[in-house]
């Protein structure tokens, strides 16, 4: 069943995952779905293809290892769960069982960033740093709920593994009209055009960056927003182009540790390509265990909320050339 929506509406990315996998099960007879007891969104697939659904219970390590075993035998396994546990408990399985033999295992999950109010055991805030470090891994972080379906589809034909990160996935703002952008793994999306500065962002805070750009437009600032939903391989050409087209002013905002995530990926490109910048502002989670609170409160408390994004962008624009 196609998902219908209106622009700006709230949609559950989890429901998109559920319906997409159920559809893909028809097209790909070797598609398997596995979960360590986080199966609520997978019911549609489970009921349609009980033979290709596996809930292992509380056993993240075995879950990823079993997925690798299935992939060795020519299957396309999708592991769906909560990212703090998939990216950390099962890290060695991801690295040595999946990435090392370069198997087409897809890891998709929720709780990327300071979301869900579960406390630090339940926030995946180091996951992108860990996943980007793994050879062969493609790393994505998705904000637009409909895009999740598109990325899962595209990943079906990939040779190697992919990591797909979501926030809570229960209520996400639809950011793009279908067909509005050419969504391709490895290519950043210019979500809003601008010439005074670029905000690079991904995942749940893309919406916030768009709000910041809108706010800054009221003061006559033209701010570009790039949804860099693929962190690895990163879109180097787009980064180079933004440096030229937005006056060498970069702001990076992400729901991840400020060091080790997108900001670090962008900084690597800047260094490697010898790109000249006039400003580089980095907003993300500091090196603290963040505590409790709702998503927005935590972003504000830790310095990467809407106000902080606006202020950092103003600083970048005002910086001396």
Partner 1 sequence: MGHMSLTTGGSPHTVEELKELAFELRSKLLHLCGTYEGAVHIGGDLSAADIFTALYHYGLDVDPTDIANPARDRFVLSKGHAAVCMYIAMAMRGFFPYEGIVDTYGQLDSAYGMHPCKVHLPGVECSTGSLGHGLPLAVGMALSARGRGELHRVFCLLGDGETGEGSVWEAAMAARSNELGNLVAFVDRNRQLMTSFAEERVVFEPYPDKWAAFGWNVVNVDGHDMADLVGAIDRLPEVDSKRPTVVICETVKGKGVDFMERNLAWHAGSLGAADLERAMAALEASRDKESV
Which parts of this chain interact with ligand TPP (CB under 6 A)?
37, 58, 82, 85, 89
Q: Where are the alpha helices (DSSP H) in 159-305?
A: 206-217, 236-245, 262-272, 295-301
122 near partner 1, rule: CB under 8 A:
yes
Structure tokens at 97: 């069982």
Least Å from the CB of residue 118 to ligand TPP: 8
115 near partner 1, rule: CB under 8 A:
no
| Nearer to ligand TPP among residue 85 and residue 229 (C-beta) | 85
Least Å from the CB of residue 19 to partner 1: 18
Rounded to the nearest 10 degrees, the angle between the axes of helix 306-318 and helix 206-217 is: 50
| Nearer to ligand TPP among residue 82 and residue 167 (C-beta) | 82
> What whole-number distance in Å separates Cα of residue 174 and Cα of residue 295?
18
| Nearer to ligand TPP among residue 37 and residue 297 (C-beta) | 37
> What whole-number distance in Å separates Cα of residue 183 and Cα of residue 123?
27
Residue 48 binding: pick among ligand TPP, partner 1, none (C-beta 5-8 Å cut-off by kind): none
Beta strands at 279-285 and 106-110: parallel, antiparallel or unpaired: unpaired
| Nearer to ligand TPP among residue 39 and residue 143 (C-beta) | 39
Nearest to 284 by CA among 256, 250, 313: 256
Residues in the chain: 321
| Nearer to partner 1 among residue 119 and residue 233 (C-beta) | 119
Radius of gyration over every alpha carbon of the chain, rounded to an integer in angstroms = 19
Residue 298 binding: pick among partner 1, ligand TPP, none (C-beta 5-8 Å cut-off by kind): partner 1
178 near partner 1, rule: CB under 8 A:
no
Residue 40 binding: pick among ligand TPP, partner 1, none (C-beta 5-8 Å cut-off by kind): partner 1
Contact yes or no for 107/94 (Cβ under 8 A): yes
Of residues 5, 12, 48, 55, which one binds partner 1 by CB under 8 A? 55
Burial of 210 (0-12, 13-18, 19+ CB in 10 A): buried
Rounded to the nearest 10 degrees, the angle between the axes of helix 262-272 and helix 236-245 is: 80
| Nearer to ligand TPP among residue 167 and residue 310 (C-beta) | 167
The secondary structure element, H or E, covering residue 145 is: helix 145-155
294 near partner 1, rule: CB under 8 A:
yes
Question: What sign for the dihedral angle of Cα 61, 286, 274, 280?
Answer: positive
Is-cis flag, bond preceding 212, omega within 30? no
Residue 39 binding: pick among partner 1, ligand TPP, none (C-beta 5-8 Å cut-off by kind): partner 1
Contact range with partner 1 by CB under 8 A, out of 18-26, 68-76, 97-105, 113-121: 113-121
Contact range with partner 1 by CB under 8 A, out of 34-42, 142-150, 215-223, 248-256: 34-42
47 near partner 1, rule: CB under 8 A:
no
- The number of angstroms, rounded, from the C-alpha of 291 to the middle of its chain's C-alpha atoms is 22
Residues in contact with partner 1 by the rule CB under 8 A: 37-40, 55-62, 84-85, 89, 117-122, 289, 291-294, 297-298, 301
């Amino acid at each position: 069943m196609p998902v219908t929506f209106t622009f700006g509406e709230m949609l559950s990315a989890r429901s998109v995952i559920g319906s997409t996998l159920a559809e893909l099960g028809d097209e790909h007879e070797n598609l398997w779905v596995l979960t360590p007891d986080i199966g609520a969104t997978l019911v549609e697939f489970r009921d349609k293809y009980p033979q290709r659904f596996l809930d292992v219970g509380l056993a993240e390590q075995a879950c990823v290892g079993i997925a690798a075993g299935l992939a060795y035998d020519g299957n396309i396994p999708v592991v769906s769960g909560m990212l703090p546990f998939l990216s950390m408990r099962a890290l060695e399985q991801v690295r040595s069982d999946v990435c090392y033999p370069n198997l087409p295992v897809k890891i998709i999950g929720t709780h990327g960033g300071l979301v869900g109010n579960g406390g630090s055991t339940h926030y995946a805030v180091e996951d992108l740093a860990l996943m980007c470090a793994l050879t062969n891994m493609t790393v994505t972080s998705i904000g637009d709920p409909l895009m999740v379906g598109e990325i899962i589809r595209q990943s079906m034909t990939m040779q190697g593994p992919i990591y797909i990160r979501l926030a809570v996935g229960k209520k996400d703002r639809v950011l793009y009209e279908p067909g509005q952008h050419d969504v391709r793994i490895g290519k950043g999306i210019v979500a809003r055009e601008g010439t005074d500065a670029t905000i690079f962002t991904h995942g749940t805070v893309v919406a916030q960056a768009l709000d910041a750009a809108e706010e800054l437009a009221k003061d006559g600032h033209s701010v570009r927003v790039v949804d860099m939903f693929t962190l690895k391989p990163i879109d180097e050409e787009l980064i180079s182009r933004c440096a030229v087209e937005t006056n060498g002013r970069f702001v990076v905002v992400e729901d991840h540790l400020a060091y080790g995530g997108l900001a670090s990926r962008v900084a690597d490109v800047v260094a490697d390509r010898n790109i000249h910048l006039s400003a580089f502002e980095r907003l993300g989670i500091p090196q603290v265990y963040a505590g409790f609170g709702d998503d927005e409160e935590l972003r504000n408390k830790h310095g990467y909320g809407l106000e902080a994004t606006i202020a950092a962008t103003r600083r970048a624009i005002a910086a001396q050339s």
